Amino acid sequence: MNRHLISAADLSRDDALLVLDTADELARISDRPIKKLPTLRGRTVVNLFFEDSTRTRISFEAAAKRLSADVINFSAKGSSVAKGESLKDTALTLEAMGADAVVIRHNASGAPHRLAEWVRGSVINAGDGAHEHPTQALLDAFTIRRRFGRSGGSGTGPPGAGPGRGGALDGLRVTIVGDILHSRVARSNVLLLHTLGAEVLLVAPPTLLPVAVDAWPCSVGYDLDAALPKSDVVMMLRLQQERMNAAFFPSVREYSRRYGLDSARMAQLPERAIVMHPGPMNRGVEIAAGVADSPRSTVVEQVANGVSVRMAVLYLLLGGAEAEQ
């Protein structure tokens, strides 16, 4: 793997499968009374969050602590950033403190890329603007693989020491629905799922599709009802109204009527199909409460799997495999 994880495009098929297989091995720690490994003892991981977050920040913090790393949580609110300190000055401060890895979430697309030019440690993109969120795509792929019985792992030896290569997602049909325009999750998922062999379809109103979507490795549609019977996975995206500065659709009610997933629409899905959502959810808008809480929903699994996947990313980027040899 590369030293940084800034885009899902940074991952080759082998890289992505290595992360997923390592996460499979590390997930077994969750079943132990003591959920810790000494792998990254003495390493320092900084969570550098310029945007509010609950799931992602806590997930990275839990992942680092389960690998015995020291964790520093940095929030822009109440820091020198609020006094006008630049990202570069913040980066140089972290560099002086000896950070081995910096997990960054920023409202500006490209911020993790710039940060990687200023620090010697590994940089992990935890979401930059409307650009990318690669670890979310990895945990989504991990969840899909487990639900469809394609997980690998040898079941022997320490994580990262050569687990059996698990299956990819070849041939699975994934439909991503909703606010594609403002979604960093959508872009990362399209890139990673394509790399792993899945067929991706984006379904959204024309106003909520990016201008350059034709260059993405996926197909595009506008009719959710036509797409559902052919989908193995349906991933619903949140309407990010906080990022909208114009009227992209007539009303929330109209959007929900055409692009919301309710019980009637879920009945159109094939028997084995699953429903995903990266969270946080707008219940009653893009997804009905009954759908979100159904056995076919993976929302809670995605949160749990996020810790295992982020453990795998930290483990591999910070040289956990080498440390155990």
As annotated, the active-site residues are: 55-56, 83, 105, 133
Q: Which residue has the tokens 């590994």?
A: 122
Q: Which residues contact 144 (CB under 8 A, 6 or more apart)?
A: 169, 172, 174, 198, 233, 274, 276
Question: From the CA atom positions of the chain, what is the Rg in Å?
Answer: 19
DSSP label at 49?
Answer: E
Residue 142 and residue 308 in contact, taking contact as beta carbons nearer than 8 Å: yes
Residues pairing with 5 in the sheet: 124
Which one-letter DSSP state was computed for residue 220?
E
Distance of CA 94 to the CA centre of its chain: 24
Q: Burial letters for 37-63: b for 16+ Cβ neighbours within 10 Å, e otherwise?
A: bebbeebbbbbbbbbebeebbebbbbb
Measured between alpha carbons, how far is 112 from 219 in angstroms, rounded to an integer?
28
Cβ–Cβ contacts within 10 Å for residue 68, how many?
14
